[in-house]
Each structure stands twice: as C-alpha cells, then as structure tokens.
Structure 1
C-alpha cells in the first residue's frame, strides 16, 4: 500500500483521536467533580412538573401500551390523539430526530418551523383511515409514496436490493436486524435530504434528490450488515476477518476498491457477493461526492472503521484497559458515523452541526450500550458497561460509565446546547424512557441490581432518577414505538413467509402424490396412451399454485376438511395442465419445453396431445362431481362457475392467438391477461368459497384481488421471459420476442412493465383490505408471485 496514503490516513485518525481525547478529558474532570449531580437534580426538579401526574387510570394505560403488537401500535396512537397528547408526543419525537440525526439546535426558529411542519404531516398520516395507516410501512404503502414522488423505479430498485441482501445474510447473523438497520439508514438519509430542500425546489429536482437519497442511503447502509455486523459475528474465520478487514482498510486509504483475488476460506461465495455489492455501493457514493466533501468522506469513513476495529479487537479477559482506551474509540465511532452521513449527501459546511454531532454521539452510543449491556456481557463484548461490570471491584480507577452517561447529558444541556429549555426537556425525556424500557425488558429485580451497582456512589441522585422512572409519564417516543412495530412486522412476516413456503412444499407434495390417473380396464386394441400422455404432463415439475391456493383458502380460510376437498384440488390441476397442453400445440404457441422437459406433442404426437387435453378437462369435471361431503346446491353452483370460467379462458386463448404478431394496446393486453391468467387464479380462490357458501360481497372482493394478482403474475411472466434463467424456469426464454407477441415488456419496456406489475400488486393488496376475513396466505402468495425467479 502507498506509504504516503497510509501516513495521511493515520494522521487523520490521530487528529480525530486527539479531539476525542480532549473531549474525554473534559468529561473526566466533570465526572470527578460530580458537577452533573447538582445540575441535573435542578433540571429534574423543573422537568418533573410536566411529567409526574396523579392519574392512576392513565398510568395503567401507559404501562399497558408497552406490549408491542400491531393492534397496540394503532390503539396507542389513537389514544394519544383522543387525549390530546399526540401533538406533544410527535413534537418531542421529531425534535429528538432533528437533534440526533440532523444535528440541529432546537432553539433555532427555522428548525422549529421545520419540526412543526414535519409533525403536522406525520399526524395526518397517522390519523388517516385505518387502511392508510396500515399501509404506511408496507411495501404497497412505500410504493404508493414513491408514486406520489415519481420515483417508482428507484423504489423498485431498492426493494429488490433489500430482498437480495436479506437472502444473502448468512446464518449467524440477524436478517431482520440487517433489514431494519438498512431501512432506518435509508430513511435517515432521506430525512437529511428533505430537510435541505425548501418549497422552491422544482418537482424534477425533488425527484432527482430523493432518488439519490435512497441510493446513497442503501449504499452507505450496506456497511452495517456487510462490514460491522459481519466482522462482529462468528461467520468468518479469524483469517477471513483479517483478510476482509485489510480489504476494507485498503479501500478507505486508497479510495479504490481492490480486486478480491484468491479467497482463503469457506465463505468464498458470500464474500464474492458482498465484495461486488459493496464495490458498486462505494463507487456510487464516491461518484456522487462534491470535490470539497470527498476528502471529509474518506477521512470520516477511515476514522469510523478504524475505531470500530480498535474496539472489536478488545478482549473482555484483558484486565488492564485504561479509561481512555475504553471511551475514546466510543467517542470516535459514535460521532464519525453521523458525520459520514453529512458528507455522503454532500451537505454544505455547518460548523455548528459538526460540533453538536461530535459532542452528541457518545450520548447515543452510551445509551445503546446500556440497553444492550446484558446481551453484550453474554457475548463477551467489550463496552464501557461490560468492562466495568467485570472489573469494577479490582479497578477502582475505572470510570463508572453510568456516571459518565449523566455527565454527557449535563454537558450537552448546559454547555453544548446552552441551557435551551426544549433541548433539556427532550434529552431528559429520552434518558428516562431508556431506563423505563430497560427495566421492563430485564425485569424489576435485575434492574434494581444493576442500578445498585452503577448508582451506589450517589444514592441521593439515584433516588431522584428512580422516582422519575417509576412515576414519570409522557416520556416515550414515536421512533421507539415504530422500531418495535417494524421489528414485530419483520419477525411476523418472516415467520409467516417461512410457514407459507413450508406449507407450499407440503401441500405441493400431497397434490403431486394424488394426481396420477390410474389406467382403467384393459380393452383389446387400446394401449391407453391417452392416460400415459396425461400422466406425463401432470407429473412434470409444476408449481401447483392453483390447487395450493385452493387448499389454503378452503382449509385455512374457511375451515373445510382437507381430505374432503382433494377432488377440487385435482380438478384444478387437471384443468390447468390441459390448458398448458393446448397452449403448447403447434397450432397455438408451438412450444418445445414445458416444466423442464419436452412438451407432450413432441413426445407423443399432436393428436394424442389434443385428446389428452380433452381427457383431462373431463377428468376435472368428474372430480368436481365427486365432492359428496358438501351441499349439493353449492357443488352444482361451483361446477357451473367452473364451466363458465373454462369458457372464458378459451376465449382468452382465442384472443391470444388472434393477437399474435399484432400490436396491442395496454388495455387490450390487460384484458387478455385477465382472461388467460387472472381467471385461473380467481377460480382457485372462488371455488372453495362457493363450497363454503361465502357471501357474495366477500366473493366479489376476492375476485377483485384475483384479477389484479393474476395480471401481476402475467407481467412477472413477461419479465421472466426477458430476464429469467431457463434452467430455473423450465422453459425457453425469449419466446415472446421470437414469436413477435405483444407483452407488457414489449408495450411498456422492462422498467414500465415493472411499474405496472407493482401497480397491480398494490391494487391487489388494497383489495385484500375489503375481504372481511384475514387470509394471510394471499398476501404472501402475492409477494411470492412478484418476487419469484421461475
């Protein structure tokens, strides 16, 4: 490595380290002089007037609200609005974000105007209709927001990226945490960029800035799962960690990502993916920098990485770390991580921001380390808290990190933010809220043990603090509520998705095992090649989506007996397979590959294929007529519906044949797609509903969902015909272009087709809101349909 560049990097780190050392010395003297005790005791005397009330009913509710689930999230926000507390709640929450993430001084009139505007906008979104609120943080909700800002392509891009990152998070790391952190950082960068814009920014300029903010946020956010979390985990071997750290260090010092070269370790595939993704992200950030901010970006990035490395190499078994060794890296990494964001977005120079962010960072880091103390101790991680817990009896020279935490708070309020009343209010709110959450998480007994240790030197001040923890109301924050809500959603969605995929495979196997048609009585001169041909098509590697959907709707949606509906499932697959046989014929699509092998007419002949298709349609009707455990009128109604849908699908195929080689309008293609694909999905949903004798209004809502989902499915098919892997698809790609067929891609282009697919995704998700029962499967089915690779 170039010695000059290494020397420059070391000099930058030493300068930052000296600044952190000066800050630490200032804090050290304040801790030794106990100045924080009297200052904060007075602050709390004023503060408690707004936070200690004598309303036992409200206090009970306040304690109950900590149960984090989706219903509680909405109910609590509703309660705040009803009691008139929502404005104050949002104001302190937004004020805190402006102080923490944007480095703003809360006594600035301009900042107050911005906070008020942000509060008003957030309140509108939180108190809108239930559907609006439930969509706020869903994929559909995010896409609708992107449409309003005209950045749909960017949103599609980042959703694909988030999905890919989540899929590549290895065991031993937390995929939910990685997703949440990435989303948080992207949101933070957007917040920075929006704050820099005023009302005079043109729509086109706003669009470009938001596009860049999302891409920069993702690019910067990748460093957390793929550098910090990866190096903190046990996924990589020690040698791999050393090799990987050297790679990152070289990049930050030279400003160029080196080639990966030979990788000595078992994680070679993971590292190849991460290296490629981080290289692209790094180049994007670098190319978007203004020349005057590029130097700051490299320097702050190196300071952040190196301070993380210094901390990472600490060992809890080593008893002789100095106070400076424990706290200076904390100051460096906590301040530089936020200063990087400012340089990433090429924000204008702001000395006040730099100072406030530098002094503020350790407060946030100490609060996080306190919250994670128990887990960090189990993991053997060295933080000021875990080290003090282990060595405080042997090392009387060690600074109590809890005392330093309060010292930092006092210093911020009285020296950095110059006794600003609102700043004092928000910081003390946050501190007491953090202790409340910690107590709730670890339990009162363990909490009291921790407090006895960390506060033993100042029992009077501790009594003040614990009184606030026990009695103070209105100290919670929206970002914490939202964080818990998002974590819950990610965990729930992951569990539901895993259950969905497991059931998908289980039900698929059950269906596969029941599809084979057994040959009937042997008749002279008849070799029953029709049955053989039918089984050849049936037993190919099909997805079985239609019978699987019917199974889920019937069993989990309406509680029907799973064995009683087997004839319905078989009939759906027979009908679908028959339609594929006809589609593949030389007179129609003339396909040679289907479900990963030769099409039926290629193996046998066209006549046998035609007869097999007809044979399967009749077998389907036979199966439907054998649903003897259900109401006869319902079965008859279902058969009539099935026949009508088959008629419509034939019309759809006729439309398709008549349109080959002809340009279609988007409206014509959408109509044809519904007849060809949407109807089949509709049938798999509606036929079980008919057997369950569901209300007409409910079936209308399900039909609406099926229409939009089916079209989304067809658009994805069209995209896969251009972008897919024929090995995964089980059929040749590029057939539509070869046959000069009109598709969503040929009409709209790939980018336009993706937008149209996500539009129908949103419409389908919104249609689900009209279904009176919660059929979770349909949500995950839709996600599967638009994210599938085959």
Structure 2
C-alpha cells in the first residue's frame, strides 16, 4: 500500500531541530547562565506575590483562604478579596501562551484575554448562586449548545462520550481518560474560537464549532485508545507490538487495516469497539484534511512516544539526547497536531509551540515522578533517580526545567513582563501542589536529590515556594473539579445502577399474583396476567416510587409494597390495551409475544381489566397509612387513570393524522408523563408532602415524561429488536404521529434536550434529597431500550 507521507524524512527533519534545541539548553545547564537571570526575575516577581500579613488579618475569619477543592467557596473568596480578575487573567493568559502559542504583549491577544476574563467571571459568579450546581455540567453543555445553535452536535458528543465511558476497559484509568478526551476537545475548540472575528457570520460560526467538536473528539480518542492502552498492562507484549504496527500503518498509508483475529479472546472483545471507533474517527479527520501535515505531525507524536515507551528503566546506557529529544518532540507535536487538525495557521505559532512543549512535559513528569517510578516508566526524573549515583554525565532534569524557563522568558518571549509573571506563577504553583500532595518531608527529600547542585538558587527558590501567594490557576482548579466530578459521577452512576437492580429484583418478587388469591383451577386471565408481569419490564414506575418514598421522604419500604404492585399492575394493563389489534396491533412486548398472540383478544382485554382492578385492590392494602390519606391517593389514582385513557384515545385518533408539536406534547403528557407523575406524587401523598413539593414533582414528571416519550420515538426509529424487545419502526408502519415523524430525527433530539433542561431547572427548586431524579433523568436520555 502506498505511503501518504515520507515518515523517515519528516521525523529526521524535526528530530534535527530537537537536537539543536537540546544542545542549546544543555549549554545553559552546564554553564548555569540561567541562575542569575532567574534570581533577577524572581526579585521582580516577588513584589506582587510575597505579602506580609497585617495585624488585623490575624483576627479576620472572613479573609481565611479556603481550599481550591471547595470550588464554590474558593471562587466566592477570590471575588470577596478582589483577587478573582487577576486569578482569571493569569489563568487565561497561560492558556493563550500554552495552548494557542500566542505572544502575550500583542494588543489583539490582550483584548481577547480581557474579554474572556469578563465572560468567565460572569459564568463563575452565576454558578456560585447555587452550590449544588456543577461547573460546566451536562445541563451547562446543553444550554451552551442551544445558545450556539449546535445542540445536535452536543447531542452527538454526549452520546459518544457516554459510549466511550461505558467501553473504557477497567484496566485503564477511566476518569483520567475521560478528562483528557474532554480536554482535547476543549483545546481544538480554543483554536477554532481564536479564529473568530467580528465579521464571522452565525452560520460560519455554527459550522466551525460543529467541525471543531467532532474533530476534537476524533483526535482526543487517541489518548485513551492508543496512548493509555499501550501504556497499560491490558495488552501482552506481542499484542502491543501488533497494535502499534496497526496505528503506524494507518498513519503512513492513510488507511486503517482490519483488526484481524490474532488476539486473545478477552483482548479481541475489547479491541473490536476501540478499533471501529478509531477507524471512524480517523476517516472523519482524513476527510477534513487537504494536506499531509496532520499525518506528519501525528506520526512524529506517535513515533516519539513509542521511542519513550520502549525504554527500560533498568537500562543504564541511555544518553542525555536519547532521554530529552523524544520528549521535546512528543510534547510539542501533541499541540501541533491539535492545530493541524483544524488547519489554521499563525505566524510563529509552530516555532513557539516547539520550544514551549518541553516546559510542560518536565513540569508534568515532576508532578508524576512517583507514579512513573512505580510503573517503571522512563522519564528524565525517574532515570536520574535510578542512575545518578553512577552516571555523572546525566543532566539533572530539575536544572533543565529552570534552564527551559529562563530560555522561554528571555529568548523566546523577549523578557515580556506578563509572560514572566505567568510562567513563574506556574512554576511556583507546581512546586506548591507537589508539596501539598506529598507532604513537607517528601518534598524536602526530593529537593535534596534534585536541587543540591545549585544551592544559592535553591535557597532563594524555596523562599518563593514557602512565602509566595496568588499563584493558583483556574485550569488546575477545573482539572481537580473535573476529576472529582467524573469520579463522583461514575460512583453515583454505579451505585444508582446497583440500587435500581436491587429495587427491581424486590419489585419483581412482589408482582406475582398467587393462585391462592384466585382459587379457580383453570384461570387463563390469571395466567395471562402473570405472563405479562413476568416479562422483562423496566419497572420504572415502582422504582421511581421507591426512590421518592424511601429516599426522599423516608417512608418504610415494606409499607409501600402495595403501591409498587399497584403502579406496575396499572402500567402493565395499559400496555395490554395498547398492544391490541384495535389499537397498536403489536406482536411483541418486553421481548416476548403479546397476550393476544398467545391467547386471544378477549383474554387480553379481560386481563387488562383484571389488572386495573388488582391495582385498586392493592391501594386499599396500604394499611400503615391513615384512611383519609389512602382515600386521597385512590382518588388521585383514579383521576390519573382516567386521564391516561384520554391520552390513549388521542393517540388512536391521531392515526394517519399529522399532529402539531403542541398536540403531540399534550397527548404525550396524558399518555406517558401522567404515569411518571403518579409514581412521584402517590408516595408524596402518603408522606403528606405540601402542595409546593407535589407541584414540583408534577412539573418534573411532565418534562421527564415527554423526554422519555421522545427517546422512545427515537429508539423506534433508530433502534433494533435485540435492544427494544419489540420490532423497531412500528410507528412508521402504523402511520403514528410521533416526535420523529412530526419533527424529524434532528428536531426530536432538539426537543428532547429542551425538556431535559426544563426538568433540570425544576430539580434546582426541589427540596430534600432529589439527586436520584437527576440520575433517573440521565438514564432516560441515554438508554438504548
């Protein structure tokens, strides 16, 4: 197969640049020219960062600085002390420096930074009004998607992220994999947004944002599914070589080879999804590229990583060049690929990014040195620790780090004051975070190993670390916040899933109607009822009632069992009627033939009537609640059932009619949302909740129910029998008006997220422990059946 790039030529060319850069840095380390310049830089820096406390500050509890891990309190404290704007300015300036390769003293860049500071400040202050609200959460993404008119793109991305999360092997760090993927998408978006100007039309903006998100996702997949996978122990040595060769072939030829069958069974099952997703991503990127630049940058990135990955910590013969040249290449090419993927150009960007990359890499390697040592990974720090006692020629990576900083400040950015400020802030912040993470004792041991060779500078440096202030960065806060959020989200999701399954099993055990209660020897209606109840149903309504009753209001589970039965009996009855030939004429339900197919239409009708009566009977068994409350519940239940019948009549009347969106929503409210409402409100009635709480539950049910129905319509259009338990495409076959047939697939997805946002808004006003409702809502929109 013909190569699309000359790999040897493109790698040798940049490798030679990296060697020249390394030699320049090596000279600065050897001659220690950087030390007096950095001391002078820090002398200027400390004026704004070393503060002497006033007498009154010791008595002011309001001025006590909270931990940055307390995100909302920390943002409030920054604003209260008038430090928020400076904090955001250095943070955004750093992003412009690192990610966008900008010169900070450029007038246009300064204007953009100031604009971004103002926008971000407003967003942050708005987020602090509700301490339960997450920064840049799912509902924030949906709202932003609506504002930018790219809601369908956000829908695509959320579905992709949800699927990736479900398919990241447990051997990988799923949380960090997700974080890195999101970070790459954000990075590509930054490059795209940086190219916008006053003359950018709304349609052009929409098109470019859509493309950036898709390209960012496609490129970002390489982090969990190539880098992390090859770094893990999931693949055997032979499989790693085989997988790396597959990636190499793709980059060189522009064509992804088939996965093949020469894998262990466990590995092959994991790789089938990964290979398919990477292939789709690769082909999408390829379709957007007009030149070989992306492939060249991507090959340099991949090959330099492979050279590092193949090193062994026990090998004592690596030269300084072998240690540093690949990290110069991989650290710069990773950001150059992000730029190449959207094909934008900027004078000086490539050169500045090439020289800047190693600074970040050395900072990251310092922060991760103990994890890298444990994993046996070769970095300049781990190799120095391992071999420094018998290799006097090894460059001290901590000295190299400061030489890089000095070179950037004075030779690359020409002693610009703001650049000096930002880079030194970042350096001190990194050391402070390291000390906080590992403790003073461990920190001092590390400094003894790495900083003993330049005592004067280290003494001065440690004073800056101990006394320096106002060096925190928003991206670090966001990183910590995102990691905690993703971990918590993953734990909550898993806990919710387990709890759902546990409650479902207990509900299932309670549903069977015993023949002892119905003494007839042969009873086809009873048989049919139990056949319907024992199908693989979702049991959403009794499960929702369990969460509201037990978790939200603290009612005892055993007292609510009759309510759980009642809700499922009534719901199953509605399905029996819905499936009849006179209505939807469905042959399958819950993965099995419907009752009228197994028995006949008459038995199906009688069984539906039988179950509605059993539902009412169960409501009268709520004996642990006072009579007045139970009567209120039965009255409400009867009203809801009557209204659900109206909804079904509307549905039948709509056959072969084209309904409007408003008519659809009205029908959906009566047919679906009221069933959800009953599951929420009936336990609230038993708990004697006030009207305000019941109204909030009704509003949430209204929007969650419509979202559920829209998802049902989308699944009917796009799903399959295996997942749905019934044939797909019945709505179209029956000429039924649905959100898909009326609005189209794209319009239905937009409407789904509209109701998601409205339901989330209601949740913000909900009293008590209603976190499960958010998890439930997310389950609705992401389900596949």
Q: TM-score, normalised by structure 1?
A: 0.96
How far 1:57 sits from its partner (Å)? 5.4
1:29-44 to 2 correspondences below 5 Å: 29-44=27-42
Question: CA–CA distance in 1 between the matches of 2:127 and 2:364?
Answer: 35
Q: Is the contact between residue 508 and residue 534 of structure 2 (CA under 8 Å) also seen in structure 1?
A: yes
How far 1:264 sits from its partner (Å)? 3.2
Identify the match of residue 475 of structure 1 among 463, 471, 477.
471
How far 1:283 sits from its partner (Å)? 2.2
Q: Name the counterpart of 1:65.
A: 66
1:376 aligns with 2:372: yes
SS of structure 2 residue aligned to 1:396: coil
Q: Name the counterpart of 1:458.
A: 454
Identify the match of residue 529 of structure 2 among 530, 534, 550.
534
* Distance change in 2, residues 1:129/1:176 (3 Å): closer
Q: Name the counterpart of 1:27.
A: 25
1:277 aligns with 2:271: no
Q: Name the counterpart of 1:299.
A: 296
Q: Is the contact between residue 4 and residue 254 of structure 2 (CA under 8 Å) also seen in structure 1?
A: no
Question: CA–CA distance in 2 between the matches of 1:602 and 1:289?
Answer: 55
1:623 aligns with 2:618: yes
Question: CA–CA distance in 1 between the matches of 2:491 and 2:263?
Answer: 35
1:390-401 to 2 correspondences below 5 Å: 390-401=386-397
1:19-65 per-position Cα deviation (integer Å, ceiling 9, x unaligned): 11111111111011112221111111111111111236599989963
How far 1:420 sits from its partner (Å)? 0.5
Q: Name the counterpart of 1:211.
A: 210
Question: CA–CA distance in 1 between the matches of 2:567 and 2:481?
Answer: 39
Q: Name the counterpart of 2:337.
A: 340
Could you tell which deviates more after superposition, 513-522 or 488-497? 513-522
How far 1:514 sits from its partner (Å)? 0.9
1:580-591 to 2 correspondences below 5 Å: 580-591=575-586
1:214-225 to 2 correspondences below 5 Å: 214-225=213-224
1:412-427 to 2 correspondences below 5 Å: 412-427=408-423
* Distance change in 2, residues 1:248/1:381 (3 Å): same
How far 1:320 sits from its partner (Å)? 1.3
1:511-660 to 2 correspondences below 5 Å: 511-520=507-516, 527-660=522-655
How far 1:669 sits from its partner (Å)? 0.7
RMSD between aligned residues: 1.8
How far 1:353 sits from its partner (Å)? 1.2
* Distance change in 2, residues 1:62/1:344 (3 Å): farther
Question: CA–CA distance in 1 between the matches of 2:23 and 2:368?
Answer: 26
Question: CA–CA distance in 2 between the matches of 1:11 and 1:677?
Answer: 63
1:342-399 per-position Cα deviation (integer Å, ceiling 9, x unaligned): 211111252x212211111000000011111111111111111111111111111111
1:97-153 per-position Cα deviation (integer Å, ceiling 9, x unaligned): 000000001111111111111111111111126568936512221111111111111
Q: Name the counterpart of 2:755.
A: 760
1:123 aligns with 2:121: yes
1:159 aligns with 2:166: no
Q: Is the contact between residue 541 and residue 596 of structure 1 (CA under 8 Å) also seen in structure 2?
A: yes
Question: CA–CA distance in 2 between the matches of 1:349 and 1:579?
Answer: 63
1:206-256 per-position Cα deviation (integer Å, ceiling 9, x unaligned): 111111111111111111111111111111111111111111112222233
Q: Is the contact between residue 712 and residue 760 of structure 1 (CA under 8 Å) also seen in structure 2?
A: yes
Q: Name the counterpart of 2:193.
A: 194
* Distance change in 2, residues 1:522/1:467 (3 Å): closer
Could you tell which deviates more after superposition, 396-405 or 59-68? 59-68
SS of structure 2 residue aligned to 1:127: helix
Q: Is the contact between residue 131 and residue 769 of structure 1 (CA under 8 Å) also seen in structure 2?
A: no
SS of structure 1 residue aligned to 2:551: helix
How far 1:587 sits from its partner (Å)? 2.1
How far 1:636 sits from its partner (Å)? 2.1
SS of structure 1 residue aligned to 2:557: coil
1:436 aligns with 2:437: no
Question: CA–CA distance in 2 between the matches of 1:405 and 1:209?
Answer: 37
Q: Is the contact between residue 551 and residue 769 of structure 2 (CA under 8 Å) also seen in structure 1?
A: no
How far 1:635 sits from its partner (Å)? 2.2
Question: CA–CA distance in 2 between the matches of 1:738 and 1:122?
Answer: 50
* Distance change in 2, residues 1:443/1:63 (3 Å): farther
How far 1:156 sits from its partner (Å)? 0.9
Q: Is the contact between residue 68 and residue 74 of structure 2 (CA under 8 Å) also seen in structure 1?
A: no
Question: CA–CA distance in 2 between the matches of 1:279 and 1:273?
Answer: 10
SS of structure 2 residue aligned to 1:321: coil
Q: Which runs of no fewer than 5 residues in structure 1 stay unpaired?
A: none
Could you tell which deviates more after superposition, 774-783 or 526-535? 526-535
How far 1:269 sits from its partner (Å)? 3.0
How far 1:532 sits from its partner (Å)? 1.9
1:141 aligns with 2:131: no
SS of structure 2 residue aligned to 1:708: helix
Question: CA–CA distance in 2 between the matches of 1:309 and 1:540?
Answer: 52
How far 1:402 sits from its partner (Å)? 0.7
Q: Is the contact between residue 237 and residue 265 of structure 1 (CA under 8 Å) also seen in structure 2?
A: no
SS of structure 2 residue aligned to 1:572: helix
Could you tell which deviates more after superposition, 610-619 or 256-265? 256-265
Identify the match of residue 687 of structure 1 among 682, 697, 707.
682
SS of structure 2 residue aligned to 1:563: helix
* Distance change in 2, residues 1:254/1:733 (3 Å): closer
Q: Which runs of no fewer than 5 residues in structure 2 stay unpaired?
A: none
Question: CA–CA distance in 1 between the matches of 2:379 and 2:450?
Answer: 15
How far 1:79 sits from its partner (Å)? 1.3
Identify the match of residue 487 of structure 2 among 483, 486, 491.
491
Question: CA–CA distance in 1 between the matches of 2:177 and 2:63?
Answer: 30
* Distance change in 2, residues 1:486/1:508 (3 Å): same
How far 1:422 sits from its partner (Å)? 0.5
Could you tell which deviates more after superposition, 354-363 or 617-626? 617-626
SS of structure 2 residue aligned to 1:564: helix
Question: CA–CA distance in 2 between the matches of 1:51 and 1:58?
Answer: 22
Q: Is the contact between residue 62 and residue 473 of structure 1 (CA under 8 Å) also seen in structure 2?
A: no
Q: Is the contact between residue 584 and residue 590 of structure 1 (CA under 8 Å) also seen in structure 2?
A: yes
Q: Is the contact between residue 597 and residue 730 of structure 1 (CA under 8 Å) also seen in structure 2?
A: yes
1:645-688 per-position Cα deviation (integer Å, ceiling 9, x unaligned): 11111111111111122211111011101111000011111111
Q: Is the contact between residue 171 and residue 235 of structure 1 (CA under 8 Å) also seen in structure 2?
A: no
How far 1:158 sits from its partner (Å)? 1.1
SS of structure 2 residue aligned to 1:346: coil
Q: Name the counterpart of 2:87.
A: 89
1:234-313 to 2 correspondences below 5 Å: 234-266=233-265, 267-290=267-290, 294-313=291-310
* Distance change in 2, residues 1:522/1:115 (3 Å): closer
Q: Name the counterpart of 2:174.
A: 175
1:515-540 per-position Cα deviation (integer Å, ceiling 9, x unaligned): 1111246767x633322221111111
SS of structure 1 residue aligned to 2:324: helix
SS of structure 2 residue aligned to 1:591: coil
How far 1:607 sits from its partner (Å)? 2.3
